[in-house]
Structure formats: C-alpha cells, structure tokens
Structure 1
Amino acid sequence: MTENHARLSPALVETIAGLSAGTISTLAVHPLDVIKTRLQIQREAATLGNGFGILRSLIANERPIQSLYRGLTPNLVGNASSWALFFYFKSLAEKQLVLFHERRSNVLTSPGHLPTAQESRNVLSPADYFIASGIAGTVITLSTNPIWVLKTRMLSSDKGTEGAYESMWHGAKQVLKTEGVRGFYRGAGVSLLGNSHGAVQFAVYEPLKNLWRKYLARDQPLGQKEEKLGNTATLVISGSAKIVAGTVTYPYQVLRSRLQTYHSEERFGRGIRGVAAKIWREEGWKGFYRGLGTNVVRVLPATWVTFLVYENVRYYLPRWGS
C-alpha cells in the first residue's frame, strides 16, 4: 500500500464513501424528489395518479430537463455534504461507544487500543447504532437546514413563476432580506424529530449487515480478511431498513415540507403543532402520509444507489493502490 493510502483513517474513508454516495444518488433520483415535494404540499388527496400528473406537467414544460432538475444545486450540496458528514460523525460516535463498552467490561488491553471494524460489530447493539446515528443526524440537521429550506421552495415551484427563486443564491438573499436568519431554520424543529428516521434506519441496517457477515464467515478461519458485502445483499438489507424507517417516520417529512415552503404560516399554520393540528382537522390521519407512495418509489432507488456506492467505495478505497 502507498504512503498516502496508508494514512487513510476509517473516518476519512467513511466521509469519502458518504460524499460519493450522496452525489451519485442525488443526480439519479432528483426528478422524483421534485414530484414528492409537490405532492407533500398539496391539500387534496395525493395519489399515484397525481404524481404522474405532476410528471406530465414537468415534461410538458418548455424546458423539461430544467423542470425535472429544478433545485438540483441545493439538493446536491445538501445531500452530498449531509451523507459525507453523517458517516464521519457516525463513525466517531460508534468508536466512542465501542470504547465505552470495552471500558465497562475491562476488555481494553492497552491505553492506546483502537477498536477494529470486527470488534465494533461484536460490541455495538441496535440501540448503539440508533444513538450514534441520532447524534450524527443532529449535527447534520443543525448545519444543513438552510440548504433544505431553499431546496424545498425551489422544488415546489416552477422557475419564472411569481415569487419563485431564480437560483439557490437568489433564494438565500431573499430569505435573509424578508425573513432574516430565522427563515433559514424553518422546519428545523421537525427535522430534529426526523433524525429518528436515520436512527431507525441504521438501527435496522447495521445489525442486519452484521448478521449477514457472520453468516458468510461461519466457515472461514479466524483472522480471515473482512468479506465484502455483496451487491444483492446490500440491495435487500438497505431496502428493508429504508422501508421500515420510512413508514414509521414519514409524517415528519410532510410537516417539514409544509413548514419550509413559501408563505407556510398563511397556508398551513404556525409551528409544528399548528401545522399538525390543521392537517388532522382538514385531512385526517391520511394527510400525514401525503406522497408516501411516490416517496417509496423514490427512496428505494435512491437508497439502493446510495448504499451500493457507499459500501463499494468503503471497501475498495483503502485497498486501492495497495
């Protein structure tokens, strides 16, 4: 292995893998994100037919590609940076949790001992993965919420319509001018609640991945190099985890979209409680699941692309050039 690659820390590998995954998955499924966002801010019943209707209107536009990729810049910046930072902070939190468990069980053999990937899998529980993902998600939410405000507003409007932002930078100036710094943190409270989504997802994903690796390693001699998680296994495990997390925590996405869109207080109510009360009063429990069908269609391809890229980059990057 070259000197440069020898210096790649596990946290840096996680960061690069997350950045690559976030970039590629966003480029692949951004049009579905546009449709999902517009469905979430509708008050009438959102169906699969509504989704196709929005798709037809986007394609019928004079510039269909620009319409389908409206708001790509904040979405790309937000997703790429979020995944990179998420995996970085998640890795740091997991390492601290491993050390915490080892101290409690007096397993540490030396003061400078650092846990290996195998040790981490043996020590960490689903609850630990939930905590580590929750901590990472909180850091990301507080640092990237302004990007999501701009993204939501751009995705929910066509370029050129009255009040629509011309670009990410134009939107940032408008928010600062008309709403002040607080405008960039609309929906931050509900987004913090939404950290439960990532926490649930990884509390399912990591233990399932560990179980699969144990199954693969059952006939291997001790000390054998870590087996690569196969692409098929990655698709099944990541898809299962995403469906569970998405179904359990989807209502927060509807609340967040309505809190972050244009003129949110006049249209949907003030604050999390106000918006939630209005949805319940006018639309019932179904209102909290607007766009769920489209979201499932969207998140599965996005999840598959994200985790295929993440797992492959994470596996091959430390070995590249060795």
Structure 2
Amino acid sequence: MSRDSNVAFWAGGIAGAVSRTVVSPFERVKILLQVQNSTTAYNQGLFSAIGQVYREEGLKGLFRGNGLNCIRIFPYSAVQFVVYEACKKHLFHVDGAQGQQLNNWQRLFGGALCGGASVVATYPLDLVRTRLSIQTASLQKLHKSKASSIKPPGVWELLSRIYREEGNIKGLYRGVWPTSLGVVPYVALNFAVYEQLKEWTPQNDLSNFYLLCMGAISGGVAQTITYPFDLLRRRFQVLAMGGNELGFHYSSVTDALVTIGKTEGLAGYYKGLTANLFKVVPSTAVSWLVYEVVTEAMV
C-alpha cells in the first residue's frame, strides 16, 4: 500500500469511528423507528424515543451496538477513502497536490465505487449491528416474549447463528441489495457535494468551521435524497428475526416499495428521517473534519 493509501486508510478509519460514536444514541433510535410499525412503542418523536430507551436500558442502551459499529465503521470508512483516492490517482489520473480537481461526474462515479467496495467489505458486521440494536427494544411481541428475560446473544454468537441458520454466506449478506441501493448513491453524493463545496471555497478560508459546515451540508443532502433505501436496508436486515411480528414482510425490493406506499403512505418511506438527520449531519461533519485534520497531520 502506498503512502497516500496508508494516509487515506488511517485518516478515514479514525474519522469514521469518532464521528459514529458522537451520534450513537441517534443511530440506535433511528433503527428502532425504521423497523417498527405504526402501532408499536416508539411513536412519540425522536427525543421521546431516546428518553424511553434511556429509562428502559440506561446509558448503555443508548450506545448499544456502538462498539461493533466502530469495529465496522473503521474499515468501512477507510475503504471508502482509499478507493476514492485510488480512483483519483489511477483511474482519472488527477493529482490533487498540483491543484487538479475531478469533475462532478468523476466524483459521483468514484464515490459510487468506494461506496460499493465498503458495503461488500463490511456488510456482515452491519447486519449484526442492526440486530443488536433492536433485540432488547420494546417492539411489540419481541418485548412481550419470554425470550426478553434471557440475555441476548453477543456479536460472535449472532454471526455464527446467522451463518448456520440463515443460509451460510447468503445469510450474512441478507439485505445487501437494498443496502447497496442506498449506500452507493449516498456515498457518491456525499463525496461529490463535499468536494464541490470545497472547490468553491478559497483555500485560505478552509477553517475547521467551514469544513464542519461543508460536511454537514453534504451529508444532509445525500441522506435526504437516498433515505427510502436506507429504510429498506434496515427492514430487510431484520426480516428473519421477526418481520411479521414487527408488522411487515416483503418478497423483494420492489414489493417492499409498493407495500410501504400502500400501507404507510408517503411518510412511510421517510420513517425515522428526523432521527437519521440528527445522526448523519453531525456525523458527516465530524467525519470530514477529522479526515482533513488527520490527513494534514500525517502528510
């Protein structure tokens, strides 16, 4: 791995881990809002849901799954930045050190490639993290069952159980298609919008505050546009652990999109969006800032 790739790997990994820890409570609640139906327990708004999780599970509950998320997000984020920098250098032959810039189509294409690579590299951990986030929550029958008094399985037990009981490798990649439909355009838009904003801003004005603002805008725009696929991602990930009890069952991505529209209306596609924006906007802002700071320190 070249020096530039090493810098991108470590800076990207650190940026991902720091940014996700900062917003972990919003991430936990966002997942709960996404996978519930209209009659279950978290329908009083974002901060009410955070308060409910805190009352039922304590401070630890707000950060449930974050350790695994950091283990997942380090390579997830690192792969994105490594692939993106490789696209600049080897695919488009653009030298940032000489002030050269990608055009917007190149940014979108490079971002799409790095988004797809990061999904393939880390998806099983994302699947397990989603299930860890909901297995102790008050979601209809999941909360009422006798199993709720039993200590829930941990990371490695969940991984091995999914592998054994849900189709081996196929089980570990359950929901990867709707995930890719959401992540690939999200990452592409995130990189494209951030780099365009950075290009418009004079270099002598690139203070930490401006970097935070540009990261916040790029994350907010990208997530809002691609959010329905993020919702599908979470729902497909939990189908095997109680989709019927949670109030939904889908045979395909198309079936899911049609069913949500019929049963939940337009708002159904954006269930949990507010919680997600509370997570994504600061998370993306911190991620870009940490990446730029760490990169500058390592160069």
TM-score (norm 2): 0.87
Residue 12 (structure 2) pairs with residue 18 (structure 1) = yes
Find the partner of 1:94 among 67, 71, 88. Answer: 88
Distance 1:315 1:210 in 2: 17
Distance 1:163 1:278, change over 3 A: farther
> After TM superposition, where is structure 1 displaced by more than 6 Å over at least 4 residues in a row?
45-48
How many residue pairs align between the two structures? Answer: 283
Residue 29 (structure 2) pairs with residue 35 (structure 1) = yes
After TM superposition, give the deviation of residue 161 of structure 1 in Å.
2.3
Matched-pair contact (CA < 8 Å) for 1:259–1:275: no
Distance 1:50 1:173 in 2: 35
Distance 1:312 1:45, change over 3 A: farther
After TM superposition, give the deviation of residue 265 of structure 1 in Å.
5.5
Larger radius of gyration: 1
Deviations 1:170-216 (A, max 9, x none): 1112211210221111111112212101101111111211221xx34
Residue 110 (structure 2) pairs with residue 129 (structure 1) = no
Distance 2:10 2:234 in 1: 29
Identity %: 26
2:155 corresponds in structure 1 to: 168
1:196 corresponds in structure 2 to: 185
Distance 1:66 1:56 in 2: 13
Q: Where does the alignment leave 5 or more consecutive residues of structure 1 unmatched? A: 1-6, 100-114, 217-226
Deviations 1:227-272 (A, max 9, x none): 6831111012111111211111010011011000153654331221
TM-score (norm 1): 0.81
Deviations 1:108-137 (A, max 9, x none): xxxxxxx53144x53410111111111111
3-state DSSP class of the match of 1:274?
helix
1:284 corresponds in structure 2 to: 265
Distance 1:14 1:59 in 2: 36
Residue type of the alignment partner of 2:174: R
Distance 1:252 1:164 in 2: 32
After TM superposition, give the deviation of residue 165 of structure 1 in Å.
4.2
Residue 53 (structure 2) pairs with residue 58 (structure 1) = yes
Matched-pair contact (CA < 8 Å) for 1:149–1:260: yes
Cα RMSD, aligned residues only:
2.4
Distance 1:211 1:164, change over 3 A: farther
1:107 corresponds in structure 2 to: none
Deviations 1:115-168 (A, max 9, x none): 53144x534101111111111111111121111111111112218727884211
Matched-pair contact (CA < 8 Å) for 1:158–1:164: no
After TM superposition, give the deviation of residue 12 of structure 1 in Å.
1.2
Distance 1:58 1:275 in 2: 28
Matched-pair contact (CA < 8 Å) for 1:71–1:151: yes
After TM superposition, give the deviation of residue 85 of structure 1 in Å.
1.1
Residue type of the alignment partner of 1:172: L
Distance 2:30 2:243 in 1: 21
Distance 1:164 1:142 in 2: 30
2:200 corresponds in structure 1 to: 211
Matched-pair contact (CA < 8 Å) for 1:39–1:50: no
3-state DSSP class of the match of 1:232?
helix
2:116 corresponds in structure 1 to: 138
2:227 corresponds in structure 1 to: 250
Matched-pair contact (CA < 8 Å) for 2:220–2:277: yes
After TM superposition, give the deviation of residue 307 of structure 1 in Å.
1.4
